[in-house]
Amino acid sequence: MLSAIYIKGFKTFARPVRMPLEPGVTAIVGPNGSGKSNITDAVLFALGEQSPGVLRAGGMSDLIFAGSESLPAANAAEVTLVLDNSGGEISLPYGEVAISRRISRDGRTEYRVGGARARLADVRVVAGEAGLGRHSILRQGAVDAIVAGGAAACRQALEESAGLGVYRRRRLAAARRLEKAAGQLERTRQLEASLA
Positions at the binding site? 31-38
Q: Which of 16, 20, 26, 62 binds ligand ATP (CB under 6 A)?
A: 62
Task: Give Dmax (Cα) for the chain.
Answer: 79
Nearer to ligand ATP, 24 or 58 (CB): 58
Nearer to ligand ATP, 121 or 138 (CB): 138
Per rule CB under 6 A, is residue 114 in the interface with ligand ATP? no
As to burial, measured by CB atoms within 10 angstroms (0-12 exposed, 13-18 middle, 19+ buried), residue 169 is middle
Sequence length of the chain is: 196
Q: Which residues, 6 or more positions from 83, have their beta carbon under 8 angstroms from its beta carbon? A: 1, 2, 3, 90, 96, 97, 98, 99, 126, 127, 130, 132
Instruction: Build a one-symbol-per-residue string for 23-42: x at contacts with ligand ATP by CB under 6 A, - elsewhere.
Output: -------x-xxxxxxx----
Per rule CB under 6 A, is residue 110 in the interface with ligand ATP? no
* DSSP SS3 for 17: strand
The stretch among 56-64, 93-101, 110-118, 158-166 that binds ligand ATP (CB under 6 A) is 56-64
Minimum gap (Å) between residue 107 Cβ and ligand ATP: 16
- Whether residue 117 contacts residue 43, with contact meaning beta carbons closer than 8 Å, is answered with no
Minimum gap (Å) between residue 160 Cβ and ligand ATP: 23
Alpha carbons 83 and 94: distance in angstroms, whole number: 10
Per rule CB under 6 A, is residue 11 in the interface with ligand ATP? yes
* DSSP SS3 for 113: strand
Binding site residues, ligand ATP, CB under 6 A? 11-12, 30, 32-38, 62-66
